[in-house]
Structure 1
Amino acid sequence: MPDTSPALSHASDLADFVAASPSSYHAAEEVARRLESAGFTRLDEAGAWPAQTGGRYVIVRDGAAIAWAVPSDATATTPVHVLGAHTDSPGFKLKPKPTTGAKGWLQAAVEVYGGPLLNSWLDRELRLAGRLALADGRVVLAATGPLLRLPQLAIHLDRGVNDGLALDKQTGTQPVWGLGEPESEDILAELAASAGVDAAEIRGFDAVVADAARGAVFGKDDAFFASGRLDDLASVHAGVVALIEAAGQTNSAVIPMLAAFDHEELGSESRSGAAGPILEDVLERVYASLGAGAEDLRRAYAASWCLSSDVGHSVHPNFQQRHDPVVQPMLGSGPILKINANQRYATDALGAAAWASWCESAGVSSQEFVSNNAVPCGSTIGPITATRLGIRTVDVGIPILSMHSARELAGVSDLYDLSRVARAFFAG
């Protein structure tokens, strides 16, 4: 039996990463913190950027982080290999007047964010996390411990619940967080206290609800890993691990880059999303520091690749009919290549061949994913990035179960193997 200790170590580190990243803003800062610890320099978008040959850099814009390492022998036409992922996950976000309640219960007024599996959020301890904009101009991150819960109605009061539970998105999703009257309590005070600031100084906030439980390895032979926000922190984490290793190479045929975007679950249309200008802004400045003109930049793009990494569906043993009858990826059998005839994924024949070569170089087995014709798939940052920049793009990821649940299920070996392929991709 193969030695699984590297995969288990990777899963444990991923659990740490997810615990440190309850919101997209925390995830972007955790990316930056890890990379700065590995010798990367944090750049200010409003400041002048240095000449970058041989440098390692990271920027944070809201809930997005982009990091790259420029080889010492890089030129104005050196290609870039971008691993794209996203920091946000489906769930709930605090409304502008977030403290509510009824009958002596304190509740949080939340709005549905993206497309979560609503029922999966019931009867579990939840935390609140995000950023606070203060009166003095500072922006601070805040995250509580276990604070909230969405209690389910007892079966004695809803005898038909096992025939199908449908939660009303307004009345059925407001979690409890204490006892008292909303007129005299403020949930923002809990969030402010976690950041060590005065709630009276808050002038704006972006806060989401996150599962409070830590990721865990379980199952026969420790095959499974369950955690919140695997979609898509599993890919972000794999990219960070791979980029740190790639940055240690003194020479490379490519510029390795991690682009962790925000707002993918909403369509990516924001200043920090893949449909926004952030990646293009960074690339233009990186190549300008290498002396690239407009023609040099286009030549570099023409030889570049983007690996759009996001989760996909493993075949579900209880719902096999929902999957393609032939192409059925399985947990523990390797990362997946995502294919769609209608360009919901950006993979084509050339991308499939390139993916196969990176997997072969890493010594990793790969699987294919395609949807059942009667069950249309979602999309990713892949087609968006390919459209914005014209860079050749491949959609990949890991197979999981319970996608968009408060706690998703992945294969331990798949998580580690994705990072191994990312290393091969960054090596060029």
Structure 2
Amino acid sequence: MYDDLVEFLQESVTPFHAAATAESWLCAAGFTRLEEADYWSLEPGKGYYTTRNGSSVVAWRVPQHAIGGWRIVASHSDSPSWKIKADTVENDGCRRLSVEGYGGMIMSTWLDRPLTVGGRALVKTEDGIESRLVYLDRDLLVIPSLAIHFQRDINKGHTFNPQVDMQPLWGPAGSRTLTDLVAESLGVEAADILDSDLQLVTRQAPTQIGPDGEFFMAPRIDDLECAATTLLGFLDASGETDSACAPVWAMFDNEEVGSSSRMGAASSYLRDVLDRILEAVPHSAQASHRAMANSFMLSADNAHATHPNFPQKSDPCAPVRLGGGVVLKYNASQKYTTNAVSGAIFRAICRKADVPVQVFTNRADEAGGSTLGNLQSHTLPIPMADIGCAQFAMHSAVETASVTDAEAMTKAVAAFYRVHLRALGDGTYTLE
């Protein structure tokens, strides 16, 4: 399982690559791609998937009988990074790229490390316009620090100005441009590149650390660890799930900037797909409402582990440990969707599967972050629980997590898809 996670982390250098990696896994498992613009004809027992913007994916398997509910797990494909605004800018004998921050990040972690460029380019072809993945697989750029000699108090703290401190060095004046390199990598003329969505990418490969390799470090652990492990659980169980419920796996883009895009969790994307599935199989309006009432969703986004150097930042009543199992997240302000009902259901599923569960809550005097579950609730009125894997250094250029927690997440998600969950009434369920 860990090797699969490493593959996903290495291949998914941008949200577009994450969607492509997920697509390759789904295709290998026999799933069929559908385009949103085409007519959908679905067969019982078959698996399908569709993409939006090339950066979000929804996959599902059609039950053999009428759809009696949905079993959904969702994660996100994006991570904080630097979006490239302009090709190269001359400055004092050097060329720089012009970048703008995407998402909330620890800016200092991007300094003095090898970087490159990834994303997509829209290319003019004989037939029209085509989107192509871009990844310049080499150490290409750096954001150099200012020497301590010019900022003697740097170790006392520094406020980073992204326009001044965080613009990456491209090369000497007169060097080839980014457009030149992208065109060369795609085998096209520079003039044929009509537009692009490109970003900086950290070059560090995933690596295990600890006396016995208990932990691992990698870029984009938040949230590609959940994306990969939930997809592994979905593929492991989707062929043998509750015959009355349709298993669904989703990965959204733009969570780090609020999810309000057409491919984000706050959009109608997932609801659009579910409605179209029902339209493609025999059902009634009553059956549609009953299926929604008998559904359940897991919102999978990583959680903060209690930091050994800063334990005072965590709730002393809810310590979270690397290697402690899947994290179930609660928030009084409903930034997380877990409540007593959804929490009990998830705990019961994990208990049957022998998967350890730990709880995350914020300190009462610390504002918490949000994720995609509560936003998805705007279009899907179904019970949800927020879960994740524990990690350190969330939103750093390189983060740290536990190998066994990734295994626990995969096992928990597979068990979730396999369970025969039935809503007998409001707040009353059976699990078989």
* Structure 2 match to 1:93: 83
Other structure's SS at 2:212 match: helix
Checking the alignment, whether the CA contact within 8 Å between 2:241 and 2:417 is kept in structure 1 is no
Distance in 1 (CA, whole Å) between partners of 2:32 and 2:23 is 9
Aligned counterpart in structure 1 of residue 159 of structure 2, from 157, 163, 166 = 166
Other structure's SS at 1:106 match: strand
Checking the alignment, whether the CA contact within 8 Å between 1:385 and 1:393 is kept in structure 2 is no
Q: TM-score, normalised by structure 2?
A: 0.93
**1:8-28 C-alpha deviation (Å, 9 max, x unpaired):** xx2222121111111101111
Aligned counterpart in structure 2 of residue 55 of structure 1, from 46, 54, 59 = 46
Checking the alignment, whether the CA contact within 8 Å between 1:308 and 1:396 is kept in structure 2 is yes
Residue pairs, 1:286-325, within 5 angstroms: 286-325=277-316
Distance in 2 (CA, whole Å) between partners of 1:294 and 1:251 is 22
Percent identical pairs in the alignment equals 36
* Structure 1 match to 2:430: none
Q: CA deviation at 1:198?
A: 2.3
Q: CA deviation at 1:377?
A: 0.6
Alignment gaps of 5+ in structure 2? 420-432
Checking the alignment, whether the CA contact within 8 Å between 1:20 and 1:30 is kept in structure 2 is yes
Checking the alignment, whether the CA contact within 8 Å between 1:252 and 1:427 is kept in structure 2 is no
Q: CA deviation at 1:155?
A: 1.9
Asked if 1:135 corresponds to 2:121, the answer is no
**1:260-298 C-alpha deviation (Å, 9 max, x unpaired):** 000000100011001111101100011122212332211
Other structure's SS at 1:244 match: helix
Aligned counterpart in structure 1 of residue 173 of structure 2, from 154, 172, 180 = 180
Residue pairs, 1:29-428, within 5 angstroms: 29-62=20-53, 63-72=55-64, 74-76=65-67, 78-95=68-85, 97-136=86-125, 137-145=129-137, 146-181=139-174, 185-249=176-240, 252-428=243-419
* Structure 1 match to 2:428: none
* Structure 2 match to 1:7: none
Distance in 2 (CA, whole Å) between partners of 1:197 and 1:408 is 36
Distance in 2 (CA, whole Å) between partners of 1:293 and 1:193 is 54
| Residue identity in the other structure for 2:58 | I
Distance in 2 (CA, whole Å) between partners of 1:37 and 1:323 is 42
Other structure's SS at 1:258 match: strand
The alpha-carbon distance between structure 1 residues 21 and 196, as it changes in their structure 2 partners (threshold 3 A), is: farther
Q: CA deviation at 1:98?
A: 2.7
* Structure 2 match to 1:4: none
Checking the alignment, whether the CA contact within 8 Å between 2:299 and 2:385 is kept in structure 1 is yes
Checking the alignment, whether the CA contact within 8 Å between 2:315 and 2:362 is kept in structure 1 is yes
Distance in 1 (CA, whole Å) between partners of 2:292 and 2:18 is 28
Checking the alignment, whether the CA contact within 8 Å between 1:253 and 1:427 is kept in structure 2 is no
Distance in 2 (CA, whole Å) between partners of 1:348 and 1:67 is 27
Aligned-residue Cα RMSD (Å) equals: 1.4
Asked if 1:25 corresponds to 2:16, the answer is yes
Other structure's SS at 1:171 match: helix
Distance in 1 (CA, whole Å) between partners of 2:17 and 2:102 is 17
Q: How many residues align?
A: 414
Q: Which runs of 4+ in 1 moved over 6 A?
A: none
Q: Bigger CA drift: 285-294 or 206-215? A: 285-294
Q: CA deviation at 1:253?
A: 4.2
Checking the alignment, whether the CA contact within 8 Å between 1:272 and 1:278 is kept in structure 2 is yes
Alignment gaps of 5+ in structure 1? 1-9
Distance in 1 (CA, whole Å) between partners of 2:101 and 2:297 is 31
Q: CA deviation at 1:250?
A: 7.2
Checking the alignment, whether the CA contact within 8 Å between 2:241 and 2:247 is kept in structure 1 is no
Q: CA deviation at 1:251?
A: 5.8
